[in-house]
Amino acid sequence: MKFAAQIKLYRKLRYRKGFGVHSPFIYNLITKVIEEKTPYYVFDEIEQFRKGLSLRKETQHKNYGALLFRIVHFFKCRNVLQIRACTGVLSLYLSMASRKDCTCYALEENSGLLEAVKVFAEQQRLKNLRFMEGDYAENLEKLKAFIPSFDLIFVNQSGNPEKTLESIELSKHFIGEKSILIIDGISKNKAMKALWEKIKNHSETRVAIDLFALGIVFFDKKLHKQHYKNYFDYGKKQNLYEKRRRRLHLFGWRKKSFKSESAY
């Protein structure tokens, strides 16, 4: 067994299902959000869009879009900020979690990446997804005029430590006590691991959750300061809805009922 596989197996056995977690808040987050398996029909639509991008270099993590969706849905986020939308796949997960009650601002410096997702968003009538192209600092300055803080901030810099730190610094104005900060690529390299250590030990950080490739930070002062690790299977979790649908399709009489149950 390769070393990477051994690490994955160890994390799976050691950090899963909330074992050893005494905080009700974190236990519910782990069992009802991080390890939740409930499918949503919009996942099919987003993944079909992703397949249309197969000729492009898709650098985003394709297996935790469902997790971002569930976090927005669970915490009833009303406004979401994504720094670096890339091709917009994860922007769709963030915005489609709550079309009526949540507005998602997805920032991207490279305008050429967003043409396909803009067409898809228009087809889906995603009026709550707002793409902002161009310099991050300039666009964040514009948002300051009417948004004091974001419920969720997703820094999607794919493990680039310099850009990740810059993005966090630029978004500090929008981090409130009730904000959730999600950082991509926290274990990608030594510099990102060091940055994650600083973030989780920061005086304003109350709870930090290490999902290996993804870090989640809470700032609510009502929470006891604590750091957690939890196993999350990036390769299987999101695809469970596809497997369930294939099994249920063997029974034609259950197709319709399943679709209605999976709607949000």
Q: What is the pLDDT of residue 40?
A: 84
Please report, as a single letter, which amino acid is at residue 264.
Y
Instruction: Reply yes or no on whether the pLDDT at 13 is more than 50.
Output: no
Average pLDDT over residues 153-163: 95
Return the pLDDT at 62. Answer: 56
Indicate whether 136 pLDDT > 50: yes
Question: What is the pLDDT of the chain when averaged over all its residues?
Answer: 82
For residue 10, the model assigns a pLDDT of 42
Instruction: Determine which of 31-45, 128-142, 231-245 has the lowest per-residue pLDDT on average.
Output: 231-245
Burial (CB count within 10 angstroms: exposed 0-12, middle 13-18, buried 19+), residue 48: exposed
Q: DSSP 3-state assignment of 181? A: strand
Stretch 104-123: mean pLDDT:
94
Residues composing the chain:
264
pLDDT value at residue 18: 43
pLDDT score, position 23: 78
Residue 44, pLDDT above cutoff 50: yes
Q: For residue 48, what are the CA distances in angstroms to 26, 41, 52, 88, 119? A: 33, 12, 7, 13, 14
- The helix/strand/coil state of 67 is helix
Is the pLDDT reported for residue 17 higher than 80? no
Question: What mean pLDDT do residues 40-45 have?
Answer: 88
Q: Per residue in 183-198, pLDDT tens?
A: 999 999 999 999 999 9
Indicate the pLDDT class of residue 231, thresholds 50, 70 and 90.
Answer: confident
DSSP H or E stretch at residue 224: none
Instruction: Strand 226-229: give its sheet, edge to edge.
Output: 129-133, 103-108, 79-83, 150-155, 175-184, 214-218, 207-210, 226-229
3-class SS at 156?
Answer: coil
Picking from 128, 126, 189, 130, the residue whose alpha carbon sits closest to that of residue 157 is: 189
For the cut 80, the answer to whether the pLDDT of residue 57 exceeds it is: no
What is d(CA 194, CA 118) in angstroms, rounded to the nearest whole number? 36
**Nearest 5°: phi and psi at 222?**
-75, -15
Q: Is the pLDDT of residue 19 over 50?
A: no
- Give 260's pLDDT tier (boundaries 50, 70, 90): very low
- pLDDT at site 112: 86
Percentage of the chain surpassing pLDDT 90? 61
Burial class (CB in 10 A: 0-12, 13-18, 19+), 115: exposed
Q: Which of 3.30.110.30, 3.40.50.150, 3.10.129.10, 3.30.70.870 is the CATH number of 3-262?
A: 3.40.50.150
Q: Is the pLDDT of residue 175 over 90?
A: yes
Instruction: Sketch the domain layout of the chain as residue ranges.
Output: 3-262
Tell me which of 9 and 261 has the higher pLDDT.
9
Query: What is residue 196's predicted lDDT score, i.e. its pLDDT?
Result: 97
